[in-house]
């Protein structure tokens, strides 16, 4: 291919999640840099996850069409790459670029999570690391399409010393509320300014001064008290839509039971060694939940309202509710019904860690067939949870604490937890719900016998 001065513009692709926009979290390239096919160029945040987007083109970066913290609609320009003879002299380069665009148009999703665009597994994928200081201070050069009025206040004048703010969301929060980052005392490692530092400054300002409003915002009606307004981001909008739909469409019912988990706690302690901590309590509970769903498959189903049919699903993809940096998400462990306790433990730890970092895939977030919620980690006893539509049920556990319990006519201190179950009353009645609850509760109270039968 011959050299041409014409740049090629990469439009933000369909993210395969039914979403229409994404927020720029971090650029890994700057204007004037060379970029290779399949090199990670940007990290974007959707309503469901944070994903890395690789480049379908090789060449010189001419324009970054959005700054960090800005929102880009699907189909709008993301980056323009100028072609060069060296970058485009290989037939493999052209073929990989075409394959990338084919996957993008097909909505495969592979191109968004770095699986590669070529048959050799994406070995050409590179990512430029940034130091905290570089990430905090570097920003894309302004483009004609950029609105200069959206620049953060701290960009107008360079501070006397380095201001370490890695997250563009934290920078934007500070800008929206008029917080001078140079005046903050950082609490993060290496002098890093954390979100909590900015929120603390906002709170102090509210207590000592008038209402804080972003520049140019319309003044709300006076209430006589200080207030601050935080716009719903894409994630919170998606959560709001999903939960509102669940509440409006599903006639849910809730049942609960107190469970003596003493034997389960003792079983877990008995298998721990100095070198192997063994499965966590949630892994054992997950296995009992899977066994209960296999006995009551109507709870692992979907309701087809158009055809008035209950669709029971052959595979159990167990969703685990996780409170991450971006909010509550429910990634699923695929085919949990085929996993043993140790395998479930590994799966739970894996998705939990990645969910807290915002690194679970869209498929993991959308594939769950039943949700297990451990709200006991927040030191609460019970919850009337909201069903994760289009699922038909959710099971939750509160904290395990010592309580007086009657055993063999004697009052003893036992490890008690409250189990709550919310189900779609259109799909099943109280009999099935109670049967499922007792299956799980009985297994927790006599775990050794339950595991022997599985």
Domain with residue 178: its CATH number is: 4.10.320.10
- Residues 238 and 47 sit within 8 Å (Cβ to Cβ): yes
Q: How many domains does the chain have?
A: 3
DSSP 232: -
Question: Which H or E run contains 259?
Answer: strand 252-260
Distance CA 222, CA 228 (A): 12
Q: Are 158 and 14 in the same domain? A: no
DSSP for residue 193? P
Same-domain pairing of 33 and 107: yes
Q: Which of 93, 112, 131 is the last residue of a domain?
A: 112
- Residue 240 half-sphere exposure toward CB, CA atoms < 13 A: 7
Above 70 in pLDDT, residue 148?
Answer: no
Most confident of 21-35, 196-210, 297-311: 297-311
Assess if residue 125 is contained within a domain: no
- Give residue 127's Cα distance to chain centre: 22
Residue 69 reports pLDDT greater than 60: yes
Which of 7-16, 25-34, 187-196 bottoms out in mean pLDDT, i.e. has the lowest? Answer: 187-196
Per the document, the length of the chain is 454
Q: Is residue 158 part of a domain?
A: yes
Task: Report the Cα 381 to chain-centroid distance in Å.
Answer: 25
- What integer is the mean pLDDT of 74-98? 64
* Closest to 451 in 3D by CA, of 341, 318, 345, 344: 341
Here the tokens at position 131 are: 């130091």
Question: CA distances (Å), 242 to each of 48, 95, 177, in order?
Answer: 12, 40, 29
In angstroms, rounded to a whole number, what is the distance separating the alpha carbons of residues 79 and 55? 9
Q: Do the bridges between strand 40-45 and strand 59-64 make them parallel or antiparallel, or are there none, so unpaired? A: unpaired
Specify burial of residue 288 (Cβ count, 10 A radius: 0-12, 13-18, 19+). Answer: buried
172 and 50 belong to one structural domain: no
Task: Identify whether residues 406 and 288 lie together within a single domain.
Answer: yes
Q: Are residues 295 and 385 located together in one domain of the fold?
A: yes
Distance CA 373, CA 55 (A): 38
Share of the chain above pLDDT 90, in %: 42
Residue 244: inside a domain: yes
Q: Do 199 and 275 belong together in one domain?
A: no
Task: Report yes or no: 290 and 337 within 8 Å, Cβ to Cβ.
Answer: yes
Residue 218 lies in a domain: no
Query: Cβ contacts of residue 420 below 8 Å, gap of 6+?
Result: 254, 255, 256, 382, 383, 384, 385, 395, 396, 397, 398
What is the model's pLDDT at position 405? 96
Least confident of 75-89, 341-355, 426-440: 75-89
In a domain, 228, yes or no: no
Residues 42 and 177 in one domain: no
Q: Which residues pair with 418 in a beta bridge?
A: 258
Residues 188 and 246 in one domain: no
362 and 442 share one domain: yes
- 208 pLDDT band, cuts 50/70/90, is low
CA atoms within 13 A on the CB side of 206: 15
| CA-only gyration radius of the chain, Å | 26
Average pLDDT over residues 319-325: 88
Q: Which among 65, 120, 389, 425 is annotated as catalytic? A: 425
425 flagged as catalytic: yes
Same domain, yes or no: 171 and 254: no
In angstroms, rounded to a whole number, what is the distance separating the alpha carbons of residues 202 and 132?
24
The answer to whether residue 313 sits within a structural domain is: yes
| Secondary structure (DSSP) of 95-154 | HHHHHHHHHHHHT--GGGTT--SSTT-STT-------HHHHHH--PPP-TTS-GGGS-GG
176 and 240 assigned to the same domain: no
- The domain in which residue 86 lies consists of 7-112
Question: Which DSSP helix (H) or strand (E) runs through 90?
Answer: none
Residues 278, 389, single domain; the answer is yes
Q: Is residue 177 part of a domain?
A: yes
The CATH number for 61's domain is: 2.40.50.100
- Please check whether residue 328 is in contact with residue 239, taking contact to mean a CB–CB distance below 8 angstroms: yes
CB atoms closer than 10 angstroms to residue 401: 15
Q: Quote the CA–CA distance of 297 and 311 in Å, as a whole number.
A: 10
Partnered with residue 403 across adjacent β-strands are 414
Backbone angles phi, psi at 253, to 5 degrees: -130, 150
Range in 74-78, 224-228, 377-381 with the lowest mean pLDDT? 224-228
- 3-state class (DSSP) for residue 352: helix
pTM of the model: 0.57
- CA-based nearest residue to 38, from 95, 101, 103, 122: 122
pLDDT for 326 equals: 73
- Residue with structure tokens 């007086």? 404
Each residue of 244-273: pLDDT tens digit? Answer: 888 888 999 999 999 999 999 999 999 999
For residue 198, tell me if it sits in a domain: yes
Measured between alpha carbons, how far is residue 76 from residues 38, 80, 104, 347, 434 in Å?
A: 20, 11, 14, 37, 51
| CATH number, position 312 | 3.30.559.10
- Assess whether pLDDT exceeds 70 at residue 276: yes
């Amino acid at each position: 291919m011959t050299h041409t001065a014409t740049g090629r513009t990469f439009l933000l692709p369909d993210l395969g999640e039914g979403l229409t926009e994404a927020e720029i979290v971090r650029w890994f390239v700057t204007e004037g840099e060379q970029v290779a096919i399949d090199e990670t160029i940007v990290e974007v945040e959707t309503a469901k996850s944070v994903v890395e987007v690789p480049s379908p083109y090789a060449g010189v970066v001419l324009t970054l069409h959005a700054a960090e913290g800005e929102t880009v609609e699907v189909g709008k320009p993301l980056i323009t790459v100028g072609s060069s003879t060296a970058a485009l002299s290989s037939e493999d380069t052209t073929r990989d670029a075409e394959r990338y665009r084919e996957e993008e148009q097909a909505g495969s999703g592979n191109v968004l999570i770095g699986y590669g665009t070529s048959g050799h597994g994406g070995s050409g994928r590179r990512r430029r690391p940034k130091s905290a200081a570089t990430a905090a201070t570097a920003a894309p050069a302004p483009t004609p399409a950029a609105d200069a009025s959206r620049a953060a206040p701290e960009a107008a004048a360079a501070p006397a010393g380095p201001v370490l703010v890695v997250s563009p969301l934290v920078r934007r929060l500070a800008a929206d509320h008029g917080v001078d980052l140079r005046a903050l005392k950082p609490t993060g490692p290496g002098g890093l300014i954390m979100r909590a530092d900015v929120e603390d400054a906002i709170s102090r300002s509210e207590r000592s001064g008038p209402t804080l409003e972003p520049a140019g915002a319309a003044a709300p009606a006076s209430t006589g008290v200080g207030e601050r307004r935080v716009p719903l981001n894409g994630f919170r909008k998606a959560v709001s839509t999903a939960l509102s739909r669940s509440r409006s469409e599903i006639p849910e019912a809730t049942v609960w039971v107190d469970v003596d988990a003493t034997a389960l706690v003792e079983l877990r302690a008995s298998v721990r060694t100095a070198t192997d901590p063994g499965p966590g309590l949630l892994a054992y509970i997950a296995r009992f939940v899977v066994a209960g769903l296999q006995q009551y498959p109507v709870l692992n189903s979907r309701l087809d309202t158009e055809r008035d049919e209950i669709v029971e699903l052959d595979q159990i993809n167990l969703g685990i509710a996780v409170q991450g940096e971006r909010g509550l998400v429910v990634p699923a462990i695929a085919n949990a019904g085929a996993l043993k306790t140790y395998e479930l433990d590994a799966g739970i730890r894996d998705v939990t860690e990645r969910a807290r970092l915002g690194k679970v895939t869209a498929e993991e977030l959308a594939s769950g067939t039943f949700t297990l919620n451990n709200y006991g980690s927040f030191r609460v006893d019970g919850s009337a949870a909201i069903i994760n539509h289009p699922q038909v049920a959710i099971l939750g556990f509160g904290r395990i604490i010592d309580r007086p319990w009657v055993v063999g006519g004697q009052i003893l201190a036992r490890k008690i937890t409250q189990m709550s179950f919310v189900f779609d009353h259109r799909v099943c009645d109280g009999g099935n719900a109670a049967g499922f609850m007792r299956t799980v509760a009985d297994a927790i109270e006599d775990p050794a016998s339950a595991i022997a039968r599985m």
